[in-house]
Amino acid sequence: MTTHDTRIENAYSLARDQYLEMGVSVDEALETLKNIPISMHCWQGDDVGGFEHVHEEIGGGLAVTGNYCGKASTPHELRADLEKAYSLIPGKHRLNLHSSYGEFHSHIDRNEVSVEQFQGWIDWARENHIALDFNPTFFAHEKARDGFTLAHPDSGIRQFWVDHGIACRRIANELGRAQGSPCISNVWIPDGFKDTPVSRKSPRERLIQSLDQIFREDLDPRNILDAVECKLFGIGSESYVVGSHEFYFGYALSRGKLLCLDAGHFHPTEVISDKISAVLQYLPQIVLHVSRGVRWDSDHVVTLSDELQAIAQEIVRGGYLERVHIGLDFFDASINRIAAWVIGTRNMIKALLMALLEPTKRLAEFEANQDFTTRLALLEEQKTAPFGAIWDYYCLQSGVPTRDAWLRDILQYEKDVLMNRSDATSIY
């Protein structure tokens, strides 16, 4: 054992005793934490490009800024980058795939995709003990250029996207069957108007019809969990989005689907932490896409912000760990893409650990007794509790670098691997 490791263990021992005095079992918190998977998103690794070999702009209200060197351009490169990221993150986690990330050895349009294009991902996931989630890709395609897909007024275009959704559900079902864990199949579409529409009703009626067609086939919930994702607005759909929060909440509730709440998909003053306990009064399960919007849905790398901590607190305080599926959704090409994964995922795990180390039962008792003075005092004192010592110990026990030591691995990987890729001369 190194001197560094000894210091971490000594600090942990002192911190554990301090938490015990607050009525918190650190051992129980860490045991719970190691069993909480985070679904890390594949599209951070290549700026939402995918591998279909088409040259469409991603569009659909999505935009990636930056040109940092070393972007993955093949499934092999992306999987290598993911392995590096996972090696620096404590715990065992999942991967969220978009359908545009299959291995397409010939031209296959989106209404024709099948599990065959994802066998490489299935094999890789099995080898690395990673479970997969899945998303249809309703953007970056000639039939999505005018901003509408499942709610398109043209029945032919609408049917094309319905067929894509059906095909993707079948793929997700096979992914879940192969891994022995339900694959979350999440539907998000960009449909909306840039300027004020005359009819807000008609696109929503068409969307209901399209979704009902996609979900018509009964699939085993042991293999697949269907989710629908709402949004307030996007680039090019600033005035009206068909799939709003109210629309999808009603759809999920009436059709028995999971609702996906994305932290960047609401007004800048809205927070999804406040929505979790509200929607879970009616829905058995939900999905989170944890992101960080800066004034708009800009999908910045997740930081250890007040809202991130509030999201984790709501999940833990409400006893929702079995009912909330946590995924990430950001894409930043202005920094090392692997570092972005590591920073964001580690921060999500830190927030969960902080919530698990809270004396929730005591705080709830003070609140029930209307002792709001003690509640506030303890919440504030909790902020200076020795969380860092517990986090360092968890990383050490998980076999991943502590503190910022992981960054050395990233920079070495950048030097050895990323700088040797085709875009290594990019200016950043």
Give catalytic residues, as residue numbers: 188, 229, 231, 262, 265, 289, 297, 299, 329
Cα 92 from chain centre: 15
For the chain, counts of helices (H) and of strands (E): 14, 10
Residues ≥6 apart with Cβ < 8 Å to 211: 150, 165, 187, 228, 251, 255
Distance CA 310, CA 287 (A): 16
DSSP 21-47: HTT--HHHHHHHHTT--EEEEGGGGTT
Distance CA 397, CA 389 (A): 12
Q: In 3-state terms, what secondary structure has residue 290?
A: strand
Q: In 3-state terms, what secondary structure has residue 357?
A: coil
Residues ≥6 apart with Cβ < 8 Å to 374: 366
Distance CA 221, CA 186 (A): 14
At which residue do the structure tokens 């065992």 appear?
A: 92
